[in-house]
Amino acid sequence: MKYFNIKEGTFIKRPNRFLAHVLIDGKEEIVHVKNTGRCKEILKEGARVFLEASKNPNRKTAYSLIGAYKGKMLINIDSQVPNTVIFDGIKERKIDALKEVEYLKKESTYGNSRFDIYFEKGSTKGYIEIKGVTLEDKGVAMFPDAPTTRGRKHLLEMAKAVAEGYEGYIIFLMQFKGAKHFTPNIKRDPEFAKALSFCLENGVKVLAYDSIVKKDEIYISEEVKVIL
């Protein structure tokens, strides 16, 4: 996926989940943050960040913060991008387990949940739920970075779908390159970790992929080992 009209800046502070103060061309700007997660390990004062200029002249914020350097690692923090990256990766046959997919549809309702992708391959029908991962610690990628009741609900709904005959996938997309493996963040959300193990034990396939991230681009790269 490509971004356009990219500007570089220096992170100053984040007063709430939606806004941040960034130094751009020597001027302090209030910008939109495209991630409501904590991102405290990434968005630190002085961090080098990248922003996309808005095409809407009437918008309150002229820029959206989409990426930041954590040391030498560039991390995309746009929470809207993982679905597109995985969808494109499936279409381009870059996900081995889904190379035979014949039909794809973004967002599909099942029960009380809306899964990110519905697919068909032969007589098989299935759903895919995608989680973007921005948290990294000593080479280990983890999700979530904050407790997520909604995320746990999605997992349990997926297990229910599989029990009713659908094929189900949970795909974690690391929005960075360089993780040794992926694991659920038991410390921050033990209930999500339990739900993920329950899914795996009941036929849901759990995959993780990393990404190639540039200041104006992100696309799927390689499969990463999942450790539960």
| Domains recognised in the chain with CATH numbers | 6-76 (2.40.50.580), 81-223 (3.40.1350.60)
178 and 214 Cβ atoms separated by less than 8 Å: no
Q: How far is CA 224 from CA 171, 202, 207, 210, in A?
A: 11, 21, 8, 7
Answer positive or negative: Cα dihedral of 111, 115, 120, 125.
negative
CB of 190 within 8 A of CB of 225?
A: no
- Residue 112: its pLDDT value, please? 80
- The per-residue pLDDT string of the chain (228 residues; one tens digit each, 9 = 90 and over) reads 999 999 999 999 999 999 999 999 999 999 999 998 889 999 999 999 999 999 898 899 999 999 999 999 999 999 999 999 999 999 999 999 999 999 999 999 988 889 999 999 999 999 999 999 999 999 999 999 999 999 999 999 999 999 999 999 999 999 999 999 999 999 999 999 999 999 999 999 999 999 999 999 999 999 999 999
Q: 13 near 47, Cβ under 8 Å?
A: no
pLDDT for 35: 93
How high is the pLDDT of residue 193?
Answer: 97
The pLDDT value given to residue 81:
97
Which pLDDT score is estimated for 113? Answer: 83
pLDDT at position 158 is 97
How crowded is residue 99: how many other Cβ atoms within 10 Å of its Cβ?
11
